[in-house]
Amino acid sequence: MQKAVSLFGGIALSFALVGASSAASFQESMAKCLTKNANTRDAATVMLQCTANGGKLAGCSVLSDSAPGKGFDKAALCVAEAMPMGDKSGDVKIPMRFPGGA
């Protein structure tokens, strides 16, 4: 389930900032969010817009969803709640790719 969600851009860098144990915890959160909200065999891409502050994301909204009605929007919002942001602050766009096949 580790490849359940691929994150692009500076998000991967945030894992380096918060450490390996936090990254493992985040991977668990991703798996739970996806399993709860969408079919892990399907693929989708979701773009979120959020406000980063204090190492967390808040006020997220879905800008686009390549598989509307299949729960990936809810899975992405759930993942955003657990996503470590390090010291980044301000408005950010978060692309998420759910590759499917799991």
Cβ-based neighbours of 81, under 8 Å, separated by 6 or more: 29, 57
The owner of tokens 């969010």 is 33
Q: CA angle, corner 10, sides to 6 and 15, nearest 5?
A: 70
pLDDT in tens, 12-65: 434 444 455 566 787 888 889 999 999 889 999 999 999 999 889 999 999 999
Put simply, whether the predicted model's pTM sits higher than 0.85 gets the answer no
- Between CA 19 and CA 12 the distance in angstroms is 11
- Residue 54's contacts (CB-CB under 8 Å, 6 or more residues apart) are 89
Domain boundaries, the chain: 6-98
Q: How many CB atoms lie within 10 A of CB 30?
A: 25
Q: Are 99 and 1 in contact (CB under 8 A)?
A: no
Out of 2.10.109, 3.30.980, 3.40.50, 3.30.2420, which CATH number does the structure's domain 6-98 have?
3.30.2420
